[in-house]
């Protein structure tokens, strides 16, 4: 299933998934729901106690009845207090634990997905799944659930009690509910749109600020300040206007609800008062009705808020569970074949075809064998397919035709653990994870000790460099901003691969220029890393290809030339032409030409 297909998931899809995940926690869910219901019940009882205090105690001048009613009120208040605390905790405990589990589950799932998934999915969206969507789901599980149960129970309970007290007066006082509900729904509809507009406008404001503040030097270099200030004034004003619109809307809604509240009191007093000497009504009833009014107004307004939360929460659930339903394109075998030890490191591509998209072939019928211990350079223009060959050997993707094998075993038959112990790569950009340098080296082989990691660096000849960093091996770095230069990052990356010590190594050569201090170090370390293992270098510089045992020239998805550097130069083909061009430019300005521009 691709990322696109997710939009087709049915509406209740996410909810079913959530219920299935919550099912094993049923006792906690039960406790949460029960305490919530009991709390609503205790809150509902209090006005009844007041009614009895007024009617039986005050009206009939009965001290005992007044005492009884006070006692009942006190007990109800205390139990409401305890139950509110219990339910607050119980509901949150269920919701938060669910959230934690869902986060871990979703992230673990992301780890199983294949590179083809990441080619299509943007990082921003995945982060949103893990953060904003999760917050929406928490709101759904905690506040929306609490409010929904409470509001429904209060509304239903109040209605029952009111009818029990006096059905005539109930009909009279509940007559304000329909206009209130209609007004609330209309208000919600308009204010929903108004708040959407506010969100858009504030986003405009933030984007403009972000862009200007981060590009401030360019802004001033091009004397754009006044233009920016004028433009920002417009955006800022639009945001103010959008905010004001929401205020205007509530300025229309609020007086109406407040007036309805007053109207209800007037109705109760008027009709209650007329019937007060009759059979049904009493002063206590009138007082109880006035208090119960709050129990009707509040939940109705709450319900409309719940509606929004349920909608966005359900949408988030659908998105998250949709993501969980995406199957990895590259899967480990159910019964992995054993790899004969020690691994020799022979790689075969047998009639391999592949394309990232179904209708755009990238590799066409590639057939080649790389002998154990051979050092091979892949050379060719951008888009020729050299990086793709490397990725297929890593099994980041499965070929659409033919197969790739290691020591005669199809990669599809090997367990991921075996595969990754055997074949590893050094990416072009020298990626660093947040943490210390040492942790970054240990990433290559987590069971290695710090001493082993440092020994590896010594053997690679970069120990002095590591020690020269501000805090040596303990220097902290992050994947975004780091104090290390491109070349230095590359060094750490090489150390990582050296510690992993894989029989087969794939190296995506750096295209960017490296600072003078590290260039020599890097070349030296690379030489040591490459010796004694099968190595496939995606080469961007001809000087690298020159030093390899074998050069494969890739063009339009095929291997067009194959041989040693010497042989290919002598053959006078594509490679020889490239080389001639390079050596002539080499002699006049000392620059090293790349075989292509941007790399993969």
> Binders of other proteins among 504-533, rule CB under 8 A?
511-516, 519-520
Stretch that binds other proteins, among 339-347, 427-435, 458-466, 559-567 (CB under 8 A): 427-435
As given in the structure block, the two tokens for residue 72 are: 């009942």
Q: What is the DSSP string of 333-386?
A: -SSPPPPPSSP---EEEEEEEE-SBTTB-SEEEEEEEE-TT-EEEEE--TTSSH
Binding mask 114-133 for other proteins (x = CB under 8 A): -x--x----x--xx--xx--
Find the binder of other proteins among 82, 152, 197, 556 (CB under 8 A). 82
For residue 165, the SS3 value is helix
The CB-of-164 to other proteins minimum distance in angstroms stands at: 20
CB of 315 to other proteins, least distance (A): 19
CB count within 10 Å of CB 2 equals: 11
Torsion of CA 231, 233, 239, 241, to 10 degrees: -120
Cα dihedral: 16, 18, 19, 21 (round 10): 120
Interface with other proteins, residue 468, by CB under 8 A: no
CA dist., res. 517 & res. 252, Å (int): 70
Query: Which residues in 252-281 contact other proteins (CB under 8 A)?
Result: 252, 254-263, 265-267, 269-270, 273-274, 276
**Does 89 sit near other proteins (CB under 8 A)?**
yes
Residue choice 33, 159, 243, 311 for contact with other proteins (CB under 8 A): 243
Q: Which residues contact 255 (CB under 8 A, 6 or more apart)?
A: none
What is the C-alpha to C-alpha distance for residues 359 and 363, in angstroms, rounded to an integer?
12
Candidates 7, 23, 27, 213: give the one binding other proteins (CB under 8 A): 213
Element (H, E) at 161: helix 145-165
Return the residues of window 11-40 that contact other proteins according to CB under 8 A.
none
**Binds other proteins by CB under 8 A, chosen from 63, 335, 359, 360:** 63
- Pick out residues in 282-321 that bind other proteins (CB under 8 A): 283, 286-287, 290-291, 294
- At its nearest, how many Å lie between other proteins and the CB of residue 393? 11
Of 171 and 417, the one with the shorter C-beta distance to other proteins is 417
Nearer to other proteins, 562 or 596 (CB): 596
Nearest partner of 135 among 99, 94, 90, 106, judged by Cα = 99
Q: Which of residues 370-409 bind other proteins (CB under 8 A)?
A: 394, 396
Q: In the window 437-456, what residues touch other proteins (CB under 8 A)?
A: 443-444, 446
* Whether the Cβ atoms of residue 280 and residue 168 lie closer than 8 Å to each other: yes
Q: Does 333 bind other proteins (CB under 8 A)?
A: no
Q: Which is nearer to other proteins, 174 or 562 (CB)?
A: 174
Q: Does the bond joining 342 to the residue before it have cis omega, within 30 degrees of 0?
A: yes
């Amino acid at each position: 299933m691709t990322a696109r297909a997710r939009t087709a998931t049915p509406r209740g899809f996410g909810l079913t998934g959530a219920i299935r995940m919550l099912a094993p926690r049923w006792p906690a869910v039960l406790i949460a729901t029960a305490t919530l219901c009991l709390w609503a019940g205790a809150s509902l009882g209090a006005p009844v106690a007041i009614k009895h205090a007024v009617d039986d105690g005050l009206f009939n001048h009965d001290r005992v009845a007044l005492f009884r009613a006070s006692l009942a009120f006190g007990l109800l208040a205390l139990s409401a207090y305890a139950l509110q605390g219990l339910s607050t905790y119980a509901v949150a405990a269920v919701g938060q634990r669910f959230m934690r589990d869902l986060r871990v589950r979703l992230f673990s799932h992301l780890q199983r997905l294949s590179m083809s998934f990441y080619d299509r999915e943007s990082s921003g969206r995945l982060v949103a799944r893990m953060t904003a969507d999760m917050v929406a789901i928490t709101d759904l599980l905690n506040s929306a659930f609490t409010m929904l149960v409470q509001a429904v129970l209060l509304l239903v309970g109040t209605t029952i009690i009111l009818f029990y007290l006096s059905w005539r007066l109930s009909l009279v006082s509940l007559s304000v509910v329909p206009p209130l509900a209609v007004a609330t729904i209309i208000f919600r509809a308009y204010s929903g749109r108004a708040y959407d507009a506010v969100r858009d406008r504030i986003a405009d404001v933030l984007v403009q600020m972000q862009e200007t503040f981060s590009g401030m030097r360019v802004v001033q270099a091009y004397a754009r300040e006044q233009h920016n200030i004028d433009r920002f004034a417009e955006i800022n004003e639009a945001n103010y206007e959008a905010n004001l619109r929401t205020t205007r809307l509530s300025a229309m809604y609020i007086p109406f609800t407040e007036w309805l509240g007053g109207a209800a009191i007037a109705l109760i007093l008027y009709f209650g008062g007329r019937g007060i000497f009759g059979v049904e009504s009493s002063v206590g009833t009138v007082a109880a009705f006035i208090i119960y009014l709050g129990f009707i107004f509040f939940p109705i307004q709450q319900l409309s808020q719940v509606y929004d939360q349920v909608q966005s929460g359900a949408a988030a659930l659908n998105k998250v569970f949709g993501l969980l339903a995406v199957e990895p394109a590259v899967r480990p075998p159910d019964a992995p074949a054993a790899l004969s030890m020690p691994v020799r490191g022979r790689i075969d591509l047998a009639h391999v075809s592949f394309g990232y998209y179904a209708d755009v072939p990238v590799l066409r019928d590639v057939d080649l064998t790389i002998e154990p211990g051979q050092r091979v350079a892949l050379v060719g223009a951008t888009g020729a397919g050299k990086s793709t060959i490397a990725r297929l050997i890593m099994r980041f993707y499965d070929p659409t035709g033919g197969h790739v094998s290691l020591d005669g075993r199809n990669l599809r038959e090997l367990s991921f653990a075996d595969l990754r112990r055997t074949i590893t790569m050094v990416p072009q950009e020298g990626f660093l994870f947040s943490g210390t340098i040492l942790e970054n080296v240990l990433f290559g082989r987590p069971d290695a000790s710090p001493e082993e990691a440092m020994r590896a660096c010594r053997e690679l000849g970069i120990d002095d460099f590591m020690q020269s960093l501000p805090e040596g091996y303990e220097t902290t770095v992050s994947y975004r901003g780091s104090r290390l230069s491109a070349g230095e990052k590359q060094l750490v990356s090489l150390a990582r691969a050296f510690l992993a010590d894989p029989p087969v190594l794939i190296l995506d050569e750096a295209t960017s220029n490296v600072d003078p201090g590290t260039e020599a170090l890097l070349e030296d370390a690379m030489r040591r890393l490459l010796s004694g293992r099968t190595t496939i270098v995606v080469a961007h510089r001809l000087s690298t290809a020159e030093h390899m045992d074998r050069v494969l020239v890739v063009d339009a998805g095929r291997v067009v030339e194959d041989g040693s550097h010497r042989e290919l130069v002598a053959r006078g083909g594509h490679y020889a032409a490239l080389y001639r061009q390079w050596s002539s430019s080499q002699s006049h300005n000392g620059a090293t030409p790349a075989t292509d521009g941007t790399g993969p």
